Structures are given as C-alpha cells and as structure tokens.
Structure 1
Amino acid sequence: MSHPLLDWADASLPAMLHDIEHLVRVESPSADHAAVARSADAVGEVGERRLGFAPERIVVDGCTHLRWHLGSPEPDVPRVLLLAHHDTVWPIGSLETHPFSIQDGVIRGPGCFDMLTGLVMAVHVMAQVGHLPDAAVTLLVTGDEELGSPSSRELIEQEAEGCVAALVLEASGDGGAIKIGRKGTSNYTVAITGRAAHAGLEPEKGLNATVELAHQVAAVVGFADASLGTTVTPTVAQSGTTVNTVPAHSSFEVDVRALTSAEQERVDAAFRTLASATGARIAVHGGINRPPLEVAATEGVWRRARAVASELGLDLPDAIVVGGASDGNFTAGIGVPTLDGLGAVGGGAHADHEHAMVDDIPNRTALLAGLIRDLLGVDRAR
C-alpha cells in the first residue's frame, strides 16, 4: 500500500509541471535586475496560486527576493527554513536556443535543473503542509544566488537563525544524491601596477606587469593543498594595451575552494603575504565569500531524511560532498543544521544539456514534505 504523501505527490505532478514551465519561460539572468524582477513576479504568481496569498517582496540593492511564512508567528515555535533561488546563469534570449520542453520524461530549458524545479517543489510542499498552529515554515526565494548572494546573505542568515533546520532545494548530485557537504568559496583579484615603455625602443625603462603576473600566478597556485581538498584556481587574466608597449597594468582572478574554515583562513592569510618579484606594486582584493557546509552540520538532518525515506519506501543514494557552494553554506556557517541538494534529479547545470527528470519529482517532493513534518514533530500521515 502506498503512503499518503506519495499519493499526494503523484496527484500533484501535473500542476508542478505546469508551474515549472511557467517559471522557465521567464528568463532571469542574475545580473539583470529587471529580468529578475519579472521572474519574481512569475514566482509570486505561482506561490499565490498554490498558497493562497502573495509573498513579501524584498528588494535589496536592486535585486528582488521573495518570502512566504506559514504557521505560528510566535518566535519560540520550531521552524524550518526552505531555501531556493529564482535567478539563473542563462542570458536573455536563451529560450530561443534552449526552449522549454518535456519529451520522454525529460524537462529541458534554462534553469529547469538549477533550480526552478526545486523551487516549485518547495511551493507545493508548503501548500501540502498548510497552517501549523504550533510550528512554522518559511520559504525564502532569493534572486542573486548565482552571483554569490551579495544582497541576500544577511537576509538568509536572519531567516535561518533559530531554525530547527534549513533545507536547500538546489538540484541533487548524480543519480539524485543529496549533498551533505560543500566547499567554502573565496574569490580574489590580484592587481599589478608596473610601468609602461616602448617595447622596441627602450623596454628596459619599463616594468613589465605581465611578467609580474606570471610570478604571482605561480605563487598563488602553490597555496593549494590537494591532500586537504583545497583548490586555488587562477581564472580570468588581463594585461597590456598594445603589442609594442611594455604593459603597465595587469590583473587576474582566483577561485578558491576549501572543505574547512581553517583552510579558507590559511589561504586568505597567504594571499596577504604576496610580494613582488620584479618591483611592481601588488594589490590584493576580495576574500572569503561563503563558509564551508561541513558534514558535521548535516549529519543529524541526513539521518532523519533517511528514516523518512525508509518510511515512504524510497531508496536514497549515498550522500555526497561537492565543490560547488550554495546558500546552504551560509545557514550552516551560523550553526543551523542544513541539508542540501533536495531538489531536482537530472544534470547539466549551467550547460547546454541542462535537464530534470519528471519521474523523480513526486518522490523527491514527498520526501521533502515528510522531512519537514518529521523535523517539526507534525503527523506525517497527512
């Protein structure tokens, strides 16, 4: 005999697919505030239709975030935070080359996997949970996650404070794996100032910023520690003006990922010690962005998720630790038990083959509903 939550999720699938299509068809590149605002309108329409009331609209530094609160307003009741984002990495016009479709049980379209399917799941689960007289659920939908959440971090941490758990509707790992760890992220710009000169007539009078850049790139790569999972990756580099001019300026960006806060701090300190090899001036900008989502912050919620899955008759794949960061890093960073990767099963995040699997949506949605009820001590049979 099937579980009532599975029956509910199966019956809700057509409505969820309708809502996913509605959101995918509204493009939302993170840096385009007008596009993100239009996307927020669409998310608000979906949520109001399913929950019966409009979200609180929060605009910070031009970026639009949404918040729904269900249940008791009392501050001392148990509360779960659901985290999602509605911005994507896809530029305006992507729907022309990557149109929305559902064929052979596969959803395609910009942002369907990362993470509009998970967002729709969260809305429907909140509707299923309904009003809770002695508990509460908050759904926070941010609009700048793909940029590192510069305008929403404070809001995320405020909403997470005091919660029983934060559940992140980011897409799953391969095969539906839930994410019990994420590396922390740090971002740096190393700016170099040399001195220009004619490359043919008097190069000796110049101070070559490109040569200094080469020295600095080699230095920062040495900050990595593969044995601890710490990566230090130079990415974008710029230097010079013309082919016959000794470059006076150069710069490069660096992406750092680490499994522990101690490693993030070690690498950060190392960046502050960079010294010129040629006499050029060195300036380091940036620093730690997201703290790690350490496994210790997820173990308790992960055990409960497995117990709920067992009760529902679902098989969960082994959980994984990944290099990519999410807003779950922030909630874990302030000590809130956090579980990530509860959203869509599929693949191709940020890539041409982005897709989500239709058949997995009901089971994942039922799991989320059951886990919320378990965390809040609410009857899971509904």
Structure 2
Amino acid sequence: MRDIITVAKKEIRAFFSDKAILMQMFILPFAIVFGYGMLMSAMWSGMREDSAVQDNKSIIAYSINAPAEFSSALDELGIKPAPDNDIEKYKSQVKSKDADMLMIFPDDFKMGSEDTNPLSNIDIFYNSDKDSSMELYSKATVIFTTMQPRIFTFNESADIEYDLVDKAAMLRNLLSGIIPLMVFMAVYMVCMNLAANSIAGDKEKGFLNTLLITPIKRESIAAGKSLSILLVAIISSCSAFAGMAISLPKFSEALAIAENTSYSISDYALLLGAVITGAFVFAVILLIISTIAKDVKQATQLSPILLIIVMIPSLLCSSDNFSANVEKLGAKNYIIPVWNSVKLLQDGIKLNYSWANAGITFGINIAAALLGIVIIGKLFRREKIVNG
C-alpha cells in the first residue's frame, strides 16, 4: 500500500506543479459547461425577446364601416378605424407596403347564417409580398371564421389556461439531452490528456521502463497511477458540476419559466454522484487505452471511442421513441457502466429518479473502476505492452 501511495503522490505532485494542468483540472471543465450554458441561455433569451418584439410589432391596418360587434376582434388584431373613407388611398398604401391591411364592411352589414341570401361580404385587402400583411390576413380570417354563427363555443374563458403543457418539464427534458453530453465531454477532455501522458507518455519517453526495474511491484505502479488519475477525475467532475449547477437556473430564466424549475440539495447530490462515479469509469478506460497504446499520439487517437459511447445515449435518449424503449429496460439501464451515469444524470435533471437506481449506478461504477485498475495491473505484467 505504501508503494501505491508513493507512486500516486509522485504523479499528483507532477500535476499540481504544472500550472497548465491545474487550469485543465479546475478551470477547463467549469468553463466548458458554464460557457455553453450561458451561450444557450443567451440564445434562448434572444429568441424569446425576438418573439415578443414580433408579437408586439407595430401593425398599420385600417377598417371602414366596422360594426360594433367587431370592435374587440379588430382591437386584438391591431386594426384601427380609418380616419376617413378614402378607400383608394388606403389600398395604395397596402400595395406600396406602407400599410398591412384594409378591411371594408358594407353599409348594410348584418350577421346571418349560411341560409341568408345574399350574404354580407367583408372586403379584406392585403399584400402577400409583405410578411406582416400576410400574417395579419391569416389571423383575421381565422378570427372572423370563429365569429360566424355557431351552435356552441369552446375555450372562450380568458381566465382559464387551456394548454396544460408543463413548461418546466419540457425544459428539463430538453436539458437532459444537452447537459450530460457537455459535462462528460468536459471531464473527458481533462482525463484524456493526463491519462495518455501518465502511461503512454512515460512509455514513449522511456521513463516507464526505468520505473519498472525499481523494487516497486508493477501492480503497485499501475494502482498508483490510477489513483492519481481518479483524483483528477474527481476534481474535473466537481468543476464541471459547478458549471452545471450555476447554469441550470439560468435556462429557466432565459425562457421565463419560474415554476417547478428549482433543484434541491438532494437533487444536486445525486447529480454530483452521477458525474463523479461516471468519471471514475472514464478515467480507468482511458488509462487502459493509454496502457495498450504505443505512444501518446496513439492513445489520443483511440480515446474518442469513449466519447462516442457517451454521445449515443445522450442524443438518442432525447428522442421520444428511443427514450420510451430505454425506459422499458427499467433497472437494467443502471448496470451498464458509462451508460448508467448518463441515464442517471438525465433522470436527475428531469427530477424523475430513484435513489435505488442511483445506488446501483454508484456501486456498479465503483466496482468497474476497481476492476479496471486490476486489468491495468495485469497489463503491466506483459512486457510486450509496457515496452510498446
């Protein structure tokens, strides 16, 4: 055990004495997740503001001879009574795109049924080459159609919200397809470089052979190097988690969703556990790749395979059809290393998780990490591998 700690201390000392590595561990994951979160928040906020501006943009439209029963509908559309009855002047303005619409009601207009003969006709002049004019015409025709004689009404109470969509749930579902990928990508970028240099780098420089002829057992060297990278995984995970924790409330602010979007301390604890234990498996797999690789270049070329494994569940689970099939697997989702961390992180963001599944995930990932360290120790005993 003393030899393992000695090797681990040497590796950790090398990491902490290099300012570039310190920035990679402490700053880079936070910057990636937080920066991406702020970028997405700004984009969503801008889209919401643009939509609000679009909804409230100035409409230039006129009506002539409009009956009193149409006043509320015309006000809703932004159509104002014309200052005078100069029809040709307003038609000219619509044609030249200086106005959006002209609506002319006949002097003897009356609301009737389809059996009324003849029917009163409303002349609506618009310009299909102008977007706002075409949009206003579409809205007007829909509203006027609903005003025609009916035998029943529906959804007419202004005090009732008929759309029962859970906006907070929609936001959480959206984030569950984005956040896990960004968090694990940030952790991957840190662990990949350090894991590649820890073993493949020492192999390339010839330092590993020198280390292997010391009285320290090869398994102890492998375990010491693994522990140092696991510490890096913990630090980078906490850094990425901090970026995620700060970003999550910003998303709801960007979309102006105030209700049911907050996370409790236990929710954050589960998310942190999912990230850290998932990072353990990441780190060990990257170390195995580094052990097998001949040099740093080969190790970094093979490592992106792991990132693809993370991307698949992150992206596919954002699809309703695929997500439904995944949910049918139940607890089986949490016994597959890497996959289980992504799934648990998605569950945590959706606030749809169980601590039983979290316990399975944590246990499986820790066991997988320990098994990986044993495998690295076995690989260290093979001369062909350690000599490249």
* TM-score band w.r.t. shorter chain: under 0.3
TM score, norm. by length of structure 1: 0.24
Higher helix share: 2
Higher strand share: 1
TM score, norm. by length of structure 2: 0.24
Computing the radius of gyration over CA atoms, which structure comes out larger, 1 or 2? 2
